Amino acid sequence: MKVITKLAIGGVTAIATGLGALIVYAGGWDNFKLRYFSLTQVLSDQSREIGDLRKQDIDIEGTARIALDELLNGGPPKDGIPSIDAPIFDTASTTPFEDDELVIGMVVNGEAKAYPYGVMNWHEIVNDTIGGINVSVTYCPLCDTILAFDRGDSTFGVSGKLYQSCLVMYDRQDDTLYAQPWGLGIVGPAVNASVEQIPTVKTTLGAWLNQYPDSKILSTDTGHQRDYFRYPYGTYYTNEQLVFPVRNLSALEQHPKEIVTYAWEADGETPRNAFSGYSAVFDHDELAASGEQTVEWGDRTIRARWDNTFNTVIVEDEDGTILPSSTAFAFVYPAFFGN
């Protein structure tokens, strides 16, 4: 019996030692989790993952916008990353975040709000009301993409799935899955439907408050126990590692995590596994140097300009109206909008 006990203890010790070595090799626990997330694919049952949709009378395989084998399990299950559905807000004088905190800034009907990355990294979706409009504010930490839109009477949640390494949201009203970088239904009753986008800006809290001192700031009082002052993805934001496979990666000439801005507008076409409509990508370094760039957009021209106030790219229509756009890691644009 003592021999068995000793063998068991030895086995546990060996496993613990090996695991510790792997964690050190990966560059810490957060990097380790990211590196081995992809192993969850072995345990993933896609028929279970889209079970809520299969309960409906839908030809999922026949109508899906994407190939279902490219709809990957991201690790956490449906709602395993919890959206914030009853957000609480601080003011400039009560927020615990410093001026250099990255935020998603929005102004709707004169009401300004800021959503710190420190919170968005852990929750990805906030279902809110701003300026009298019900909105979902969404952020994908694996892509650095932002999408805010009119959610109507529904709320959106994190599906636990990824497409091209990016967030797949789901509409709680009918379970339709949406590819966040497209803002487009890809599986379910509302397949091919585009959400009604609302412009946002990625900037620092200090820069935002300089322009909107009365802005509300999303609170860390979320009802969940998270360390909102710790980045949960290790060195992912700056390293070259992609956790999940993406297409057209060979088309990149820059670092895959370099920050760019893209704008897009879908049309009525529905090609399989592809976007149809207008899109353009803007390099931040180039625009910071040149000041602006114009792009033909159907029968009109749009302009991207470098904004020194927020230290980012702003995309505008010919009359100066700000258009929805998103920052992104450089790999996102060829993965979602490349040929």
* pLDDT exceeds cutoff 60 at 1: no
Each residue's pLDDT tens digit, 288-325: 999 999 999 999 999 999 999 999 999 999 999 999 99
Average pLDDT, the chain: 89
Listing DSSP states for 277-319 in one string gives: EEEEEEEHHHHHHH-EEEEEETTEEEEEEEETTTTEEEEE-TT
Each residue's pLDDT tens digit, 139-191: 999 999 999 999 999 999 999 999 999 999 999 999 999 999 999 999 999 99
Sign of the Cα torsion 330, 163, 73, 44 reads: negative
- Is 301 exposed, middle or buried (CB count within 10 Å of its CB: 0-12, 13-18, 19+)? exposed
Q: What is the distance between the alpha carbons of residues 68 and 55, in angstroms, rounded to a whole number?
A: 17
- In this prediction, residue 260 has a pLDDT band, given cuts at 50, 70 and 90, of very high
Between the CA of residue 193 and those of 14, 151, 176, 187, what are the distances in Å?
52, 13, 10, 10
* pLDDT value of position 40: 47
Listing DSSP states for 212-242 in one string gives: -TT-EEE-S-SSS---TTS-TTTTTTTSS--
Map 27-69 to HEC letters: CCHHHHHHHHHCCHHHHCCHHHHCHHHHCCCCCHHHHCCCCHH
